[in-house]
Structure 1
Amino acid sequence: MSDDEKAARLHHLRSEALAKGDPLALPVTLASMFNLPGDPEAGVAGYGRMDNPTWDALEAALGLVEDAPVLAFPSGMAAIAAVLFAVVKAGDRVLIPSDGYYTTRLLADRYLAKLGVEIETRPTATFDTGGFEGFALVFLETPSNPGLDVIDLSAVCGAVRAAGGVSVVDNTTMTPFGQRPLELGADVVVASDTKAPGGHSDVLMGHVASRDEGLMEEVAAWRKLSGAIAGPFEAWLLHRSLETLELRFARMCDSAEVIAPRLAAHPAVKALRYPGLADDPAHGLAGRQMTRFGFLIGLTLADRDTAERFINGCGMLAPTTSFGGTHSTAERRARWGDDVAPGFVRLSIGVEPVEPLWRALDAALSGAA
C-alpha cells in the first residue's frame, strides 16, 4: 500500500467497524476498571494498566501507517526504554550514536551500564566503521538529531542482523511518511509522537513498531509490568492528530525545501545542513532511502549571541526545545550539551505559509548579524 493509500485509509479506518448509531469520532474511554465476571478472557478488557479501547484504536491507526504491529507509550523515551529493557541483559554490548538524541545515551549510561551492559558510541557519519560483531542491540538515528547526518539503513541493518544483533531505528525526525525503516531492514522502529505526529504541542506520546512477534510480546510485557502506559486522553489526542499528519508533513517538507537554499545563501549563515540540498553530504543517500527530505534544518551562525538574537528576534519562531509542531521553532542546541558549535540552531519548519515565514526569518537573520 502506498503512502497516499495509507493516508486515505487512515481517515476511514475507524468507520470500517462502526455499527449504526456509533459516533464517527473516537470516544475517550476513561476507565481503570472494566466489567469482568468469571475468568479473564483474551481480547476482553480487564484492567486499565493492561487494556484501553482508546489505545487499541490509536495502535490500529499507527499500525496502518507503520505497516506493522504497534504499541503506544506515554513518551518517545518510554518507547525507547521499553525496547532497551526488553531486549538487553547483563553482559550485552549496545551501540548508540554519539551525536543522536542525547537522552538515549543518558538512559543507557545511567541505568543500563549499572546493570552490567556495556555501552559504546560512534558518530553517525562513520557509524559502520568497526562493524557490528558482538553487539546485542544497535540503536540508529537517521537523520541524526540535531546534526542531520544520514545512515545507510539497508546496509547497516543488514550487517547488524548478519552479526546476530537487533537493529532499532529512531524515526522521530522523519515519521512513517518520510522514511520507512522496517522496509529497509530494521527490526524495530521507535518514535516520539510528541513531535510531528501529535503536531500541536499539546501531548507527550511515543510508539514501538516491529514485525518480530516475540520481541513485541516482550515490549508489551515491559509496558504492563513497568506501568509505562499512555493515558487515554493523550491517546485520543494523538489519534485525532494522525489524520492530518500526512498533510502537515508534506507542507512542512515543501516549505523546508524552499527555505533551506535561501538560508544557505544568506550572508549571516556560516554553515547549513539540510539533506535536500544537492551539496549536502547526506543528499545522495537521503534521496535513495527517504521519501522526503524532512522539515528540520541545521544552521550555524557566528556565535552564541547571534543565534540567540536570531531566535528571539523572529516573530514566527517559537523558542522551544521540541520540533515538529504546526508552528516553526528554533533552538540553540549547545545549551543542552550537544557537540555542536555555540551558534548552531536547529530550525523546525512549521505549516505557516512559506513566504511570510521566509520574510520573518530573513529579517531576523539580518537584524541578528
Structure 2
Amino acid sequence: MLLLAALVRPLCLVAFRIPKALATSMTADDFLRLWWCGVTGSAGIAVGMIFLDHRDMSRQVLLLDAGTYLSFLLMYKLVLYKCYLLFVKRHERKLARRMILASFAVAPASTLGVVLLRQALSHGSVADWWSRLVLPLTGMVTWPLIHLLDPILPHRSSIKFLVKEGRKVLFGSVVGMVIAAFSAILLNERAWSRADLIAASLAYGSLMLVIGGWLNRRASSHMSESDRERQADATTAGRQRLLIVGSGMHLSAYLTALAEAPDHLVEVVGIISPEPSQLTSMVGGYTVIGHLADIPEFLEEGSVTRLVVLERSLARKHVEEIENYCQNHPNILVRVDHRFDSEPVGV
C-alpha cells in the first residue's frame, strides 16, 4: 500500500494540476481539484491493490487514509495561501509576522517550563522526561499555525489591543493546546496530566499577551522608516494614497478613469472586495489585498489618505459596515455613487 501511495499520489498531483496557483489563489476550482485529487488517489490505491491480488484491505483503513490525505491537502493549501498573503502581499502586517516568529520561541519555552517544574516536583525518571518533550514539539507547530490562520492585528490603543486581540491570543492558546495534546495522543504519548495542560496553556497565553502588547505599543508609537519616508513623500508631493472598495464593472470603470490621473497625484494602495474569495486576484492591474473586515487595520495603520467607496457596486449592509469602520476617521471616507466620465472622485 505504501509503494502504491508513493506512485499514485504524485501522479494525481500532476494530473489535477495541484501545484498550479497553489499559494496565490483561493477559488472554488482550487478546492474542487484538491477534492478530486484526494479521492482519485485513494481510489487508485484501492484498485492497484486489487490488481496486485491484495484483497484483504480494510475499508476503515482506506477511508481513514483518504480522509487524512485530503485533510492534509486542504491544510497545506490554506497554510501556503496565508503565508503568501502575510509575507508577500501584506507587507504592512508586521505585528502578525512578529507574533508568529515569537510563537516559535514561546511555545516550546512555556511547555518546557512546565515539564521542568513537573519533573523537579515529582522527581521523574529520564524516560518520563523525554516522553514529555512530545507536547512541546507539537505545540511549536500548532500555536504558530493558529497565529498564521488568524493573525494578530495592530491597534493604536493598548486597551483596544488587549480587549480585541487579547481574546484571540487566549482562545488560540487553548485551541493550540488541545490540538497539541491530541497530536501527542496520536503519537502514543500520554504522560501529561490535566494540570500540565492547563499550566502550559496559561503560560503560553500570558507570555504571548505580554509580548503582543509590547510589540503593538512599539509599532503604534514608532512608525517604520519606510512608512515615514513614504508618507513624507506623499505629503510633500500632495499625492493621495487611495484604498478602493468595490467590485464588478463599477470598479473596472473607476480604475479606467483613475488611469487618466497623473502619477504624482494619486497612488492606489490596493483594492478591498466584499467577496473574500477574490483575494489576490487582479483588477485593472491592481491587487485585491483584503476584504471589508480588513478596513479597520488599514485605517489604524494610517497607510491610506482616502478610502474610496464605490457605493453602486456594494450592498447597503456593506456600505453601513464601512461607515461604522470610519466613525473615528470621518475625513478619510470618499463616496462614489455616480458616473465619473472625466476625473475620478478621490483625486
**Taking structure 2 as the reference length, what is the TM-score of the superposition?**
0.24
Higher strand share: 1
Higher helix share: 2
**Larger Rg belongs to:** 2
